[in-house]
Amino acid sequence: MATLSNPDRVTRIILLLFLTIILTIGAVPGYLAGKWQWQNPPAVKALTQLRVIRKQGLQVPGWPTQEQRTVTLDGHFWSIQQIKNDRNEDASLFLFTQNGPKDQPQIEWSEINGIQHWQTDSDGEQSFDVQLADSNGSVTNSVTSSVTAKIFRAWTAKRTYAVLEWYAWSDGGHPNPSHWYVADRIAQLKGQRQPWVAVAILFPMEPLDDLNKYRDRLTELAKTIQLQLANQALRPQAPT
């Protein structure tokens, strides 16, 4: 059985303590008032925009949509769209959007894996930053959205893909839903929320080719998608 290294153990302990503090700070006032904040979380004003994305897909600058459809995967509605750039590179974009104020990102990526019937290897992480204008539209006071995504190679009998997956929110993203949970709890302390979207990009690659050759192109596309999601729906929303 693999054991955690000291740095990993320390990181987990720090995260656990941080979660405990956030939960305590967020829960105590509600408890004293006879209300549990998580049972009655602030409204998510972005739900309308998120539903539009789920039904119509996302407009990705430089990557016009060739086809879009909404399909049900294991009871969840996903937007699936085929996009292509001016270099004739194509990609598939899967999006699952938050649908209610109590929805949490617990989507199993196996829903996508299941319909693809693929095999995978070369699992790793890819991190990138996106500069967002502040709430007043100022680029000078821009906010950095730091994202970590899961990256891997996947293949079927017909095609091979470089795949990137993450949960996106306004100022970050990560394939582990616990990271969103912390961000949303912090937002709730301000009477806000962190709307979220599950994202998967499938970028065709040559069979048995080195995944690293596709990282830069895949990451640039991911940056554009994260920016578009933030601009259209993922800003922290305060209740009316």
Per the domain annotation, does 48 fall within a domain?
yes
Per the domain annotation, does 89 fall within a domain?
yes
Average pLDDT over residues 68-75: 88
Task: Check pLDDT > 90 for residue 195.
Answer: yes
Question: Tens of pLDDT along 94-126?
Answer: 999 999 888 888 876 776 776 778 888 999 999
Measured between alpha carbons, how far is 119 from 207 in angstroms, rounded to an integer? 12
From the list 56, 47, 61, 53, the residue with the least C-alpha distance to 223 is: 61
Residue of higher predicted confidence among 134 and 4: 134
At residue 56, the pLDDT reads: 95
Q: Quick one: 13 and 93 in the same domain? A: no
At residue 147, the pLDDT reads: 96
What is the maximum alpha-carbon separation in the chain? 60
Average pLDDT over residues 192-196: 92
Q: Quick one: 71 and 124 in the same domain? A: yes
CA distances from 196 to 102, 169, 183, 229 (A): 12, 5, 11, 9
Q: Report percent pLDDT > 70 for the chain.
A: 74
- Based on the number of CB atoms within 10 Å of its own CB, is 123 exposed (0-12), middle (13-18) or buried (19 or more)? exposed
Per the domain annotation, does 239 fall within a domain?
no
- Angle CA 34–179–76, to nearest 5: 85
Q: Quick one: 61 and 116 in the same domain? A: yes
Task: Check pLDDT > 50 for residue 46.
Answer: yes
Measured between alpha carbons, how far is 187 from 153 in angstroms, rounded to an integer? 35
Q: Quick one: 76 and 177 in the same domain? A: yes
Q: Quick one: 20 and 131 in the same domain? A: no
Per the domain annotation, does 240 fall within a domain?
no
Average pLDDT over residues 154-170: 93
Highest mean pLDDT: which of 5-14, 109-118, 133-142? 109-118
Q: Quick one: 90 and 26 in the same domain? A: no
Q: Which region among 133-142, 148-157, 182-191 has the lowest average model confidence (pLDDT)? A: 133-142
The backbone torsions φ and ψ at residue 147, rounded to the nearest 5 degrees and listed phi first, read -120, 140
Measured between alpha carbons, how far is 162 from 154 in angstroms, rounded to an integer? 6
Question: What is the domain count for the chain?
Answer: 2
Task: Check pLDDT > 80 for residue 141.
Answer: no
pLDDT category at 32 given cuts 50, 70, 90 is very low
Per the domain annotation, does 205 fall within a domain?
yes
HSE-up of 178 (CA within 13 Å, CB side)?
A: 8
Q: Quick one: 18 and 64 in the same domain? A: no
At residue 7, the pLDDT reads: 56
Q: Quick one: 113 and 22 in the same domain? A: no
Identify the domain containing residue 30 by its residue range. Answer: 1-40
Per the domain annotation, does 159 fall within a domain?
yes
Q: Quick one: 60 and 167 in the same domain? A: yes
At 61, the amino acid letter reads P
Task: Check pLDDT > 80 for residue 34.
Answer: no
pLDDT category at 36 given cuts 50, 70, 90 is very low
Residue of higher predicted confidence among 116 and 162: 162
At residue 45, the pLDDT reads: 87
Average of per-residue pLDDT values in the chain:
83
Q: Quick one: 7 and 61 in the same domain? A: no
Per the domain annotation, does 238 fall within a domain?
no
Q: Quick one: 26 and 114 in the same domain? A: no
At residue 83, the pLDDT reads: 98
Q: Quick one: 33 and 116 in the same domain? A: no
Q: What is the DSSP string of 30-67?
A: HHHTT--TTTSPPP-TTHHHHHHHHHH---BTTB-EEE
Per the domain annotation, does 237 fall within a domain?
no
At residue 149, the pLDDT reads: 97
